[in-house]
Amino acid sequence: MLASQLGETIKNRRKELRITQPHLAELAGVSTNTVYKLERGQANPSLEALNKLAEVLGMELTLNVKRNIE
């Protein structure tokens, strides 16, 4: 679920910017296969790869602490 949401978000942003998958991969310094699989929710990319992609797409990664729900 999380992987597919992440992939969809990256794909939508890439399309907004009118960047092809191969061009995004080149700009971010990752493989085209990584972008392809990520957008389909099939990849388990490193934080480094995600950060590179986010930077190119004008996005940022954030990590939040969940509240305990009792």
Domain ranges across the chain? 2-56
Determine whether domain 2-56 maps to CATH 1.10.260.40: yes
Helices of type H across the chain: 2-16, 21-28, 32-39, 47-56
DSSP secondary structure code for residue 30 in this structure: S
Q: Which amino acid is at 20?
A: T
pLDDT, one tens digit for every residue, the chain (70 residues): 688 899 999 999 999 999 999 999 999 999 999 999 999 999 888 999 999 999 999 999 888 888 877 6
pTM of the model: 0.85
Report the pLDDT value the prediction gives residue 43, as an integer from 0 to 100: 84
